[in-house]
């Protein structure tokens, strides 16, 4: 998390202007709240030349938000942790202001999320073949691993009963901000 904060701190003012930083913060929260699609979220930042650096900053912001929500940090505690790690005051204030407005929604949605709809590995079959030589080479000495993963698609997974902690459904979290 410290590396992510350093990346965010070094990018604001150098790589991103304040308007782009605010837009990236809003985009990160919108993706977490499922208002925007993660696949197209960064499309509005097409004018930024270094897309890899942009994705790293975006990832650092998402990680910070999720970790803060995971540990149920309020905006004052988050502000003090971030200040200790050296984020400049303008960036800190903007991040904490948006977090304080949306922290409850993020927590409810993350607590209701059982999975991110990835397939689950249920079985692994593997074998090792050792190739000594081939038709073209006299001596090859190469191990060949054959791995077969059997997956259970997310739709086939058993569903858990709704948690009593989740006071709102994910569809009710979409509020105009």
pLDDT in tens, the chain (177 residues): 778 777 887 887 788 888 898 999 999 999 888 888 877 888 888 888 888 888 999 999 999 898 888 888 888 898 888 888 776 777 778 888 999 999 889 888 888 765 556 678 889 999 998 888 777 877 778 888 999 999 887 666 555 444 433 344 344 444 444
Residues 111, 117, 123, 127, Cα dihedral to 10°: -120
pTM metric for this prediction: 0.62
């Amino acid at each position: 998390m410290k590396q992510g904060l350093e990346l965010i701190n070094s990018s604001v003012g150098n790589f991103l202007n304040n308007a782009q930083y605010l837009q990236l913060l809003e985009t990160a929260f919108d993706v977490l709240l499922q208002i925007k699609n993660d696949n197209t979220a960064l499309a509005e930042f097409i004018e930024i030349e270094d897309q890899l650096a942009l994705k790293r900053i975006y990832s650092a912001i998402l990680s910070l938000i999720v970790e803060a929500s995971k540990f149920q940090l309020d905006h004052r505690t988050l502000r003090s942790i971030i200040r200790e790690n050296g984020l400049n005051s303008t960036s800190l204030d903007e991040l904490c202001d948006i977090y304080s407005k949306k922290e409850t929604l993020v927590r409810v949605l993350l607590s209701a999320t059982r999975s991110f709809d990835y397939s689950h590995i249920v079985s692994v079959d593997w074998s090792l073949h050792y190739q000594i030589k081939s038709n073209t080479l006299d001596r090859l000495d190469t191990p060949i691993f054959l791995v077969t993963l059997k997956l259970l698609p997310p739709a086939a997974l058993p569903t858990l009963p709704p948690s009593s902690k989740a006071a709102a459904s994910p569809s009710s979290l979409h509020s105009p901000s």
